[in-house]
Amino acid sequence: MVVTVLVHLLLAQAPPEYMKRRSALVEAECANSVGGGIRLTDQEQAVDKLLRAARADTPSALASQSFFRTASTIRQSTLFQMLQPLPKASALHLHFDSLLESRWFVNVTYEEHCLACWPAGSGGPVAFRFAADSGRGLPGCASGWQRVSDLRRMSSDVPAFDEQIYRSLSLCTADGAPFPSVDAAWNKFNAAFPMLAGLLMYEPVFRKYVGAALDTFVDDGLQRVELRAGLSGNVTYTLDQSGLPASHAVSLWTHAAAARNLSLGFIFSSYRGLSPEAIAHELADARSLAAHSPPGTIIGFDLVGQEDAGRPLLEFAPVLLRQPEPRLPYVFHAGETLGNGNATDQNVLDALLLGARRIGHGYSVRSHPTLRGTAKTQGVALEVNLISNQVLGLVDDLHNHPLALFLADDLPVVLSSDDPGLWGAAGVTYDWVLALLVSSEACGGLAMLKQLARNSIDHALLAEVEKAALLAAWTSRWERYIDEFLAAWQAEPHGRH
């Protein structure tokens, strides 16, 4: 605040001609940034003014500190209240198995037939499974499978017992400190998923999860979600350990989404640590599932997992280039690395050459102006996930995230939240709040947010006629949001009246 006042004092002392040239430069910079081509209506300008005031009153440290420490403050902020109902159109980078906060899964362990593999002295569980019989058909467990209800009952401190479960399923650190390195964060990330899978993939739990996850999207003003999902072979299982095929899981999602008037598509995701031969089989499975699913259900193909630890895209190029027509679009994770010029960093280059429609993360293109220009010219969107990049160790202070550069260069950016449940979030609003906080104070406002929402329609994996319908519905929602925003906030700019 002191700095802002000082700047205004200095500007007031500058010669008029200097100020005229200065203003022209600022206007030119904003005109060339994301949202620079949007002209706000009088009502939208009033909303923009209130948003900017709320941003000015929001501590910038919320974007500088670990999200583990700031999540609750962000959730209670005026900006969050203002932006949660904002029509965001689409979320295009979400993994289907990490959408709800990990405490939701702690509650799941109270359900009947929940078993744990919990070796003595391990400090926590190493696996979960639902089963009627603790021995028949279960994965191996050296200490023997035990009912969680029995373990909880024998515990001398139930809250502490549940906290151990929570810590095993969440990336949130007990003291809120960030992980010491990218590899340390990924090690914890990779350890959590097998335990989550034992709980989530039990079919009755999966049904509840699907509905709860979709409800968070509705609450966050979304109309469409595109989910990355491992859909090779069986996905869910029953109490007798029978596996249910991917088509069953896909059907649960699509029917539940339709009931909520949400558009939904799946990006078939394979592990980038597999051999090229295995990826060829996975791609064939993806194409087969797409062919046997309703049109628009299986919409793309991706390779997932820690890039630094996996194979580079270049190794898969011969297989990926051979995909026959009609092709499943590629939407590759690429550039989720601190490397510069190494094989992992060059995944972005190969993603562009392989014809990717979007690039997941694209963090490392900050160092590659030619690749940024190519992405812009070819209309390849960058799927930015701010909090994910911080939690997984790419950046500590989000003010230093390349999103600010991407926005200033008017790159085709879309915002999403990746695996929000693992770091104590849900939906996408936290990422939108932080995106506003780290954007240019001069150029980042309602016009930028409006363009980001439009980008998520333009770059959705939909036919043009479907994009037009989504845009029409979004426009109606946007106009209603502007009216409702002013009714709620105009009289009391820092709190509802």
- Domain parsing of the chain, residue ranges: 67-101+201-478, 102-187
Residue pair 417/427 in contact (Cβ under 8 Å)? The answer is yes
Q: Strands 381-384, 234-237: parallel, antiparallel or unpaired by DSSP?
A: unpaired
Q: What is the DSSP letter of 342?
A: S
Residues 190/192/195/198 CA torsion (nearest 10 deg): -80
- Residue 271 forms beta bridges with which residues? 304
Which of 80, 34, 44 has its CA nearest to residue 475?
A: 44
336 a catalytic residue: yes
- With beta carbons less than 8 A apart as the criterion, state whether 73 and 433 touch: no
Distance separating alpha carbons of residues 204 and 400, to the nearest angstrom: 43
Express the helix, strand and coil content of the chain in percent, nearest 5 each: 50, 15, 35
Instruction: Determine the pLDDT at residue 497.
Output: 38
* Confidence at residue 121, expressed as pLDDT on a 0 to 100 scale: 77
pTM above 0.75, yes or no: yes
pLDDT at 467: 98
Q: Tokens 């109902």, residue?
A: 85
| Active-site option among 361, 368, 401, 459 | 361
Please give the pLDDT value at position 10. Answer: 65
List the chain pLDDT tens, one digit each, 497 residues: 555 655 666 666 788 899 899 999 999 999 999 999 999 999 999 999 999 999 999 999 999 999 999 999 999 999 999 999 999 999 999 999 999 999 999 999 999 999 999 988 777 888 999 999 766 789 889 889 999 999 999 999 999 999 999 999 999 999 999 999 999 999 999 999 999 999 999 999 999 999 999 999 999 999 999 999 999 999 999 999 999 999 999 999 999 999 999 999 999 999 999 999 999 999 999 999 999 999 999 999 999 999 999 999 999 999 999 999 999 999 999 999 999 999 999 999 999 999 999 999 999 999 999 999 999 999 999 999 999 999 999 999 999 999 999 999 999 999 999 999 999 999 999 999 999 999 999 999 999 999 999 999 999 999 999 999 999 999 999 999 999 999 999 976 454 43
Question: Is position 361 annotated as part of the catalytic site?
Answer: yes
The DSSP bridge partners found for residue 358 are 331, 381
Cα(60)–Cα(496) distance, rounded to whole angstroms? 22
Q: Which of 336, 383, 401, 459 is catalytic?
A: 336
Specify the CATH number of the domain 67-101+201-478: 3.20.20.140
Cα Rg of the chain, angstroms? 24
- The neighbouring-strand residues paired with 268 are 229, 301
